[in-house]
Every structure is written in C-alpha cells, then in structure tokens.
Amino acid sequence: MYNFYKDMNNLMDTMDTLSNSLIGFGVPSRIRFNTGSTKDMMPAVWKVWKKNEGTSNEYVAGYKAVCRTVGIDKEDVNVVLKENGLEVSGETVVDGTKYTQHVELPISREVVQQIDKISYFSKDGLTYIFILMKNVYPNPVNIEKLNISEDTNARDYFLNNGQTVLDSEQSEVSEDFEDKLEG
C-alpha cells in the first residue's frame, strides 16, 4: 500500500541533506542521547510516587511526569489541568525564530478527580510535573463483626444501621443489591 507521508518525509530529508551539503555542512552523525525515557514521538513519561513502598501500608501518593519542552524558556512553559488531563505548552522567540510546544497528557477522570495539587518547574529543556493526590494518608477502614440472630435478614440489618426491619418491603435498597452480595 502506498504511503504518501513516508514518501514526503523521505523527500524532505533528501532536500535537507542536499541543502546542507550545498552550503558546506553534512548530515549530523554519531548522535547519542540519554533522554530519561522520553522520545521524539513520546515526549513525556510518567512515574508513580508511592509511600511506604514494600509494606502492607503501601499506597500511591502521587505521580511525576517528565515532559520535553526543548527550545522553550523555562519562564514560558505553562501547565494547565483540563478535564481529560494536563496540557503542557509554551512559546519562545530566539533570534527571530519562534519555538513552540504543545503536548496533551491524558489522565483518567478518576485520577483527575483525586488530584489535590500540581506543581511543576522547567530546567534544561525538560518540565517536571508533580501531582499530589487527595487523602495521601489513607484512613483505616472500620470493620465490625455483626451479631445477629438467624431469623434476621442480614442485608436489612446492615443497611438500617443495626435496626431490624420485619417487613422486607420497607427496605429502600433494590433486590439487585442482595443478588450482588450473594453472587
């Protein structure tokens, strides 16, 4: 199958090589980068920030993202929380040339709703974003043992805070709940 974009990119690469050669400059070679896992086509990486790692009290306290913002002055980088994630953008003009950056970092709605604070800074062409989650110190869950008689409907007893309901029609909870408990 014909790939127009591949052919167009090859043509542009050839033209760049030719124009550089004509003015006395060759194509860069032996290029090596250590980019902290970011790549041109994947300009950001996420890492989980855990507390009490390796213990039974381990939990996710937040997240860290590293996003490429090459060519953008650190003062020109903006991070904005949108409904579906973060938007990292910026614009800097250097020697008459405009450099722009726009990256959208998707985040699930469940995670967005649990965000407490976002902090960021830029340095050396990378922007570091720190997301702190709400309730980073989990509260223990109260677990109680119910002492009910055999003739008491356990579901009604639980849902009515320990009050016995004699007639199951008085219950405001659908029968689907009981099915889910049994299944």
Phi/psi at 21 (nearest 5 deg)?
Answer: -65, -35
Q: Give the tokens for residue 115.
A: 């965000």
Average predicted confidence (pLDDT) for the chain: 77
> Which pLDDT score is estimated for 53?
83
Cα separation, 78 vs 114, in Å, equals 21
Same domain, 109 and 68: yes
Domain that residue 170 falls in: 144-183
Let me know if residue 74 belongs to a domain.
Answer: yes
Lowest pLDDT segment from 5-9, 27-31, 48-52: 27-31
DSSP 46-88: EEEEEESTTSTT-EEEEEEEEEE-TTS-GGG-EEEEETTEEEE
Across 49-56, average pLDDT: 84
Cα separation, 135 vs 74, in Å, equals 31
Same domain, 55 and 129: yes
The count of structural domains within the chain is 2
Same domain, 174 and 102: no
> Which pLDDT score is estimated for 167?
46
Q: Which residues pair with 89 in a beta bridge?
A: 78, 102
Same domain, 44 and 127: yes
Higher pLDDT, 8 or 183: 8
Cα separation, 103 vs 90, in Å, equals 10
Domain containing 63 — which CATH number? 2.60.40.790
> Which pLDDT score is estimated for 174?
45
Whether residue 176 is predicted with pLDDT greater than 70 in this model: the reply is no
Same domain, 62 and 89: yes
Percent of the chain whose pLDDT exceeds 70? 67
Same domain, 129 and 148: no
3-state per-residue secondary structure call for 84-141: CEEEEEEEEEECCEEEEEEEEEECCHHHHHCEEEEEEEEECCEEEEEEEECCCCCCCC
Let me know if residue 90 belongs to a domain.
Answer: yes
Across 79-86, average pLDDT: 91
Let me know if residue 14 belongs to a domain.
Answer: no
pLDDT tens, residue by residue, 130-145: 999 887 666 666 777 7
Whether residue 89 is predicted with pLDDT greater than 70 in this model: the reply is yes
Let me know if residue 24 belongs to a domain.
Answer: no
Same domain, 157 and 124: no
Same domain, 115 and 153: no
